[in-house]
């Protein structure tokens, strides 16, 4: 099993969510995150005033998946989340040793 962490633009979330649903991803965790990278922050306009924001707002998706689905999930996130601009995000994949569903105590792939 693997854990896929994808950091994406807020504006691309609906595209990524819908594309993941089409390939059968039924559950993921979503977090608001802030980062700092090559883009060096964003300029925000609020009520006619412009503010420089040092950090960039993004969303982080955490997905647990069987090994055979990882490449498809990563490819789907890349194709649906890409704008071609700096700041499109990152995807990392980690090994998962154990998963337990609290309600039923199922473990492994059955708990996903």
Q: Identify the CA nearest to 92 among candidates 70, 59, 69.
A: 70
pLDDT at 84 (0 to 100)? 92
Residue 4 contacts residue 93 (beta carbons within 8 Å): yes
Cα 95 to Cα 4: distance, rounded to the nearest angstrom: 9
User: What would the pLDDT profile of 31-47 be if each residue is shown by its tens digit?
Assistant: 999 877 666 656 666 67
Across the chain, what does the average pLDDT equal?
Answer: 89
Domain boundaries of the chain, sorted by first residue = 2-111
What is the per-residue DSSP string for 62-102? EEEE-GGGHHHHHHHHHHHH--SSTT-EEEEEEE----B-T
Task: Say what the pTM is.
Answer: 0.83
Class of domain 2-111 (CATH, top level): alpha beta
Residue 60 contacts residue 35 (beta carbons within 8 Å): no
């Amino acid at each position: 099993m693997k854990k896929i962490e994808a950091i994406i633009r807020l504006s691309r979330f609906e595209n990524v969510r819908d594309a993941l649903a089409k390939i059968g991803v039924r559950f993921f965790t979503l977090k608001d995150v802030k980062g700092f990278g090559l883009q060096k922050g964003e300029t925000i306009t609020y009520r006619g005033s412009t503010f420089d924001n040092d950090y960039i707002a993004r969303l982080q998706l955490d997905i647990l998946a069987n090994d055979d689905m990882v490449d498809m999930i990563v490819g789907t996130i890349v194709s649906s989340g890409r704008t071609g601009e700096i700041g499109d995000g990152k995807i990392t994949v980690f090994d998962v040793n154990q998963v337990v569903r609290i309600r039923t105590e199922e473990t492994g792939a059955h708990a996903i």
